[in-house]
Structure 1
Amino acid sequence: MAQTTIVKPRTAVKPKVERPRLHKVILINDDYTPREFVVMVLKAEFRMTEDEAYKVMITAHRRGVCVVAVYTRDVAETKATRATDLGRSKGYPLMFTTEPEE
């Protein structure tokens, strides 16, 4: 009589992959960059509608800062740098920064 061997299937162990921490892009208000230019930058770099861009610009104007959008770290830093550079290229002190989301 042949002996049967019972083979248990191996359970694959999946490593836990954490979602990348998200970063906020923040618009910092200044008293020199024209509102229309800020709206144009928000539309160009963050693909906002005219209305969305205006609301973000006005919020930053009234409160001093406004969260523009939330992305992974690399995307947030790239967009903040590109948007800030657009202002600098026209001689404006327009400033975008990033910070980790809580």
Structure 2
Amino acid sequence: MALVCFGIDKFPDHCNFVNGGDGSVSTQTVEKTSTNRKLAPRYRVLLHNDDYNPMEYVVQVLMSTVPGLTQPQAVSIMMEAHTNGLALVITCALEHAEFYCETLKNHGLTSTIEPDE
């Protein structure tokens, strides 16, 4: 029977305690593996200009779609899309980017996502 104990204060956390079957207990050193995490890829949510949605409506949709987006930020995004044809709304994880993009589309706006480089 093997007992593996980690995090006991008086023993190093890299030791396993193994019952030899005869009542004796011995220790074995176990190498720790690196737990470096990769950051999830990020995606850009883009707003495209259109000629049919009123500017005020676009600002309201942006504010209701992206949590924490202020009115001045939403106006700035809307004006960038209006002036340049395209504006960055937010950069985030794929699942959130897909949600924001679909929500904007469901409100009649044109939006796409692309990988952030």
**Greater helix proportion:** 1
TM-score over 0.5 (shorter chain): yes
Match of 1:24 among 41, 44, 55: 44
Larger RCO, structures 1/2 (Cα 8 Å, 6+ apart):
1
> What root-mean-square deviation, in Å, do the aligned CA atoms of Structure 1 and Structure 2 show?
1.4
- Counterpart of 1:39 in structure 2 is 59
* TM-score normalised to structure 1 length: 0.81
* Equivalent AA in structure 1 for residue 88 of structure 2: V
Select the structure of larger CA radius of gyration.
2
Q: Deviations over 1:18-57 (max 9, x none)?
A: 1110000000001111101100011000131111100110
- Counterpart of 2:80 in structure 1 is 59
Q: When the two structures are aligned, how many residues end up with a matched partner? A: 90
- Counterpart of 2:114 in structure 1 is 99
**Greater strand proportion:** 2
Rounded to whole Å, the distance in 2 between the matches of 1:41 and 1:97 is 15
| Identical-residue share of aligned pairs (%) | 30
Structure 2: unaligned runs, 5 residues or longer: 1-26
* TM-score normalised to structure 2 length: 0.71
